[in-house]
């Protein structure tokens, strides 16, 4: 099996008591580090009503990052299609493709990426998710070159053929990607349970398409890389506690402190949160490369979407650099 490509998922995380502007400036540094380190592409996920995540508008963020980099691929990981008109998505990513030829990728998800109240604020209905398969086909048509029967075109968009990937954490996305002959990306960096079943189903049921005669799988994996294995283990322990603190602080007027999160580390709720990081490569550069190679075999993946959840920005940049393929 050939060595998998490495890409990077950036959530544009806003630090405690930090600003959105500084988070986006850090995303530029991460992108430039990823580009110099040989990562194939960077993904930005659409989330709403989350004060710690600044990537709610992936197309806008991608445009900014593209202007600050030269060659690395940039994509949505993903655009939550039930939140949007397929025509508008085609126009946005068609514009990006015209501005940055060959660099733009479009990952599509079915979840709203938010809570119920925010979903309503987006002016969508609960039936929007049910239309996801047809919306994908409609979006493909807008980005293609054939004249639509409706007479509606995406300008920009038409003829750009922006590459599309279906995202998922269950068999639904795997089945749809297989039926449409599209690449499939599994969110195993936070939802590891169905990884093997979903990938096996996708590969076993894949229907070759003109653009993608062979199936293509990418899988999310966390990476905690440091100068040596012991430093990485200590960093991972801190990252686990920070994740517990972040998740169990939701809905609280006063967030948990690190000390409070450490005190409940072994409770059932915290253990469940820690299990989300089942697939994490932890160690010095050589050890991380070995673990990523092992995970690629386990996931039967052509590409690994790395997530670097180190607690501080400096440590995240260092993990991205040390875990780089170049």
CATH number at residue 109: 3.20.20.30
The sign of the CA dihedral 64, 67, 68, 70 is positive
CA 239 to chain centre: 19
**Residue 53 carries which DSSP code?**
B
Residue 53 has a pLDDT of 92
Residue 1 has a pLDDT of 59
- In whole angstroms, what is the distance from residue 213 CA to residue 131 CA? 26
pTM (predicted TM-score): 0.94
Cβ contact 231:322 at 8 Å? no
In the numeric block, the tokens 């517990």 are attached to: 244
- In whole angstroms, what is the distance from residue 302 CA to residue 266 CA? 35
Tell me how many domains the chain contains: 1
Query: In this structure, what are the phi and psi dihedrals at residue 25, rounded to the nearest 5 degrees?
Result: -65, -40
Q: Which parts of the chain sit beneath pLDDT 70?
A: 1, 113
CA 110 to chain centre: 13
The whole domain housing 209 covers 5-323
Rg (CA), the chain: 19
- Look up residue 274 and give its two tokens: 């820690």
Q: How many CB atoms lie within 10 A of CB 25?
A: 12
Q: Exposure pattern of 137-155 as b/e (b: 16+ CB <10 Å)?
A: ebbbbbbbeeeeeeeebbe
Q: Is 168 helix (H, G, I), strand (E, B) or coil?
A: strand
Q: Inter-axis angle of helices 20-37 and 313-322, to 10 degrees?
A: 10
Residue 322 has a pLDDT of 97
Residue 113 has a pLDDT of 62
- In whole angstroms, what is the distance from residue 207 CA to residue 215 CA? 8
Q: How many CB atoms lie within 10 A of CB 103?
A: 18
Q: Inter-axis angle of helices 285-299 and 229-248, to 10 degrees?
A: 60
12: left (phi over 0), alpha (psi -120 to 50) or beta: left
Residue 121 has a pLDDT of 83
Q: How many CB atoms lie within 10 A of CB 38?
A: 12
């Amino acid at each position: 099996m050939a060595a998998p490509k490495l890409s990077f998922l950036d959530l544009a995380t806003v630090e405690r008591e930090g600003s959105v502007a500084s988070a986006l400036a850090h995303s530029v540094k991460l992108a430039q580090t990823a580009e110099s380190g040989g990562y194939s592409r960077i993904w930005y996920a659409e989330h709403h009503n989350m004060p710690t995540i600044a990537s709610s508008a992936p197309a806008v963020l991608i445009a900014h990052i593209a202007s600050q980099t030269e060659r690395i691929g940039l994509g949505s990981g993903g655009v939550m299609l039930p939140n949007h008109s397929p025509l508008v998505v085609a126009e946005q990513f068609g514009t990006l493709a015209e501005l940055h030829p060959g660099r733009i990728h479009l990952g599509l998800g079915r979840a709203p990426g938010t809570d119920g109240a925010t979903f309503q604020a987006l002016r969508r209905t609960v039936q929007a998710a049910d239309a996801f398969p047809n919306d994908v086909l409609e979006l493909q048509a807008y980005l293609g070159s054939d004249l639509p029967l409706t007479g509606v075109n995406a300008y920009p968009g038409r003829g750009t053929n922006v590459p599309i990937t279906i995202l998922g954490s269950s068999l639904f996305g795997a089945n749809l990607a297989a039926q449409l002959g599209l690449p499939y990306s599994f969110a195993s960096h936070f939802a590891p349970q169905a990884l093997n079943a979903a990938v096996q189903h996708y590969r076993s049921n894949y229907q070759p398409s003109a653009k993608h005669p062979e199936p293509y799988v990418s899988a999310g994996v966390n990476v905690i890389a440091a100068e040596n294995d012991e430093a990485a283990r200590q960093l991972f322990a801190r990252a686990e506690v920070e994740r517990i603190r972040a998740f169990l602080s939701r809905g609280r007027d006063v967030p948990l402190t690190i000390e409070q999160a450490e005190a409940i580390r072994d409770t059932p709720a915290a253990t469940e949160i820690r299990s989300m990081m089942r697939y994490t490569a932890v160690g010095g550069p050589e050890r991380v490369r070995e673990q990523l190679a092992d995970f690629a075999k386990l996931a039967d993946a052509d590409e690994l979407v790395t997530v670097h959840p180190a607690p501080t920005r400096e440590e995240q940049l260092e993990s991205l650099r040390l875990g780089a393929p170049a």
